[in-house]
Structure 1
Amino acid sequence: MKKYLLTLVTLLMVLHSFGQSRKESREKIKALKVAFLTKELNLSSAEAEKFWPLYNSHEEKLDTYRDKGRSEIKRKLKEVGDFDNLNEEEAKKFLKLKLDLERKTLIEKEDFFKKVSKFLSYKKIMKLHVSEREFAKKLMYKYGRGRKPKDKERKK
């Protein structure tokens, strides 16, 4: 009994530390993104004061939509096993959910751009869009998901 209890406690500690490191990694990435965007957009202090609260709220909403979609898909796939086991009605529900989340995401983006256009030029808003994509690209390359095929061949 003590052995099982010790194993359970150890497992819980490992899972807790894994969750903490994951949270710390997300916070580190967020800080890197803020620094990158700040540099790229070259915001004045007045612009930054208005921009960052709106941007953070915007990002939270987009994360919520992404997380909701992922969790719904994972939950349903866990129930049925895999996509091959889905019936037509369930697949239709998935597509409706996906389209609904994409619609909400688009509406959120439009709302965000409308709000920031009151104090940022459209040129800076476009620069934001490009810079976000550039940051994501750099992050992918850094963590190995975007390596060029030549890099993989050299390591073999």
Structure 2
Amino acid sequence: MITLNKTNTMQLKKLFPILFLLLSFTFYGQNDKSRDDKFKEKREQIKAMKISFLTSELDLTPSEAEKFWPLYNTYDDKQFELRHIKMKGIFKRMQNNELDKLSEKEATTLLNQIEDNEEDMFNLRRKFIISLKGVLPSVKIIKLKKAEEDFGRKLLQQYKDMGPKK
């Protein structure tokens, strides 16, 4: 059995978004229209699973749910845009040995774009939490954070389980 201490847990929390981002961009690497359609279909399936999971984990009252879901859906869409659409161009530059061809100036520009996107993600999350404080008690906001992480782990485990068997 693997035991995780606080340091390992923090490292996993830092690696998970990067891993998820890299895995999700493999879908974008193709220009094939059917790939895009399959990606959209998978995204919708995952979104439906996530909504179901969060609903059961948060135990929202009808009044809370009525206010929460529009905020969450807006946040989730903006987060998707930042993670996938804006980063798409950045990741294209990081494929096919392009990194070895970058000048220091181009690498600095690319790094600044990555840092700007990460700052945008942080600010988006901060604004989202501020808006939630008027809708949910703090305990449920913390439960949301935990539920999102649990869902991510569950999704990653399902992805691993579907992979090639050794």
On whether the aligned pair clears a TM of 0.5, the verdict is yes
SS of the residue corresponding to residue 160 of structure 2 reads coil
The one-letter code of the counterpart of 1:126 is I
Aligned residues: 135
Contact 1:113/1:125 (8 A) holds in 2: yes
Residue matched to 1:105? 121
- Mapped to 1, the partners of 2:106 and 2:162 lie a distance apart of 33
The alpha carbon displacement at 1:74 in A equals 3.4
- Mapped to 1, the partners of 2:150 and 2:162 lie a distance apart of 12
- Mapped to 2, the partners of 1:142 and 1:73 lie a distance apart of 28
Larger radius of gyration: 1
Mark the runs of 5 or more structure 1 residues left unpaired by the alignment.
1-14
Cα gap change, 1:65/1:38 in structure 2, threshold over 3 Å: closer, same or farther? Answer: same
String of CA shifts for 1:43-95, please: whole Å, max 9, x gaps: 000000000000010011111111244322234346x8421111110111111
SS of the residue corresponding to residue 118 of structure 1 reads coil
More helix by share: 1
Residue matched to 1:53? 70
The one-letter code of the counterpart of 1:44 is T
Contact 2:64/2:135 (8 A) holds in 1: yes
- Mapped to 1, the partners of 2:36 and 2:134 lie a distance apart of 39
CA RMSD between the two structures: 2.3
| Alignment TM-score, normalising by the size of structure 1 | 0.77
Contact 2:90/2:114 (8 A) holds in 1: no
The one-letter code of the counterpart of 2:71 is L
Quick check: 1:86 aligned with 2:108? Answer: no
Tell me which of 38, 53, 73 is aligned to 1:21.
38
Quick check: 1:38 aligned with 2:50? Answer: no
| Alignment TM-score, normalising by the size of structure 2 | 0.73
Residue matched to 1:126? 142
